[in-house]
Amino acid sequence: MNGTFEEVIREAIRKEADAAAFYRMAGERVQSGISTTFQEMADEEEKHKKLLEELDWEKVEKYKLEDIPDLKISEFLEDVPYDESMTYQDAIRLAIKNEEKSHHMYLASAKRFAHDPKIEKLFKMLAQEEAKHKLKLEQIYDDEVYNQQW
């Protein structure tokens, strides 16, 4: 993401809103146990959007950065386009790939704004949140999709 800090934040807000909308739609369309997970993730994306809109620097300062395990399942998945009739497996795959892209976007933004530790931490925090979502989805994919195929 290029541009000023304000432009990057506007783009991030838009991406968080898009992610929340995707999870809400997928949660309504996919008839399975993951629909609750998708609704929870939509709520989390809404919280990220609100954080970016209000930029609560105190929350950012208190946030603890940690290493999130990477199952690397996303590396072996192909992108799938959104389709209203997509299968359960495709919805999870799309969600994993979207979280991976958001994670990379926030890490790139953290690098770009490394000259300002406060802004860098904001983007690292958001990258970590996306990594948590990706991990959660990869675990579901591993348990419910991949292992069911074998």
Give pTM, 2 decimals. 0.90
Domains, the chain: 5-149 (1.20.1260.10)
Mean pLDDT of the chain: 91
- State the pLDDT at residue 77: 93
Percentage with pLDDT > 70 across the chain: 95
Q: What are the pLDDT digits (tens) for 57-87?
A: 998 999 999 999 999 999 999 998 888 778 8
pLDDT bin (cut points 50, 70, 90) of residue 26 is: confident
What are all long-range contacts of 123-130, with beta carbons under 8 Å and residues at least 24 apart? 124/65, 125/60, 125/63, 125/65, 126/12, 126/48, 126/52, 126/102, 127/103, 128/65, 128/66, 128/68, 129/44, 129/48, 130/99, 130/100, 130/102, 130/103, 130/106
- State the pLDDT at residue 109: 96
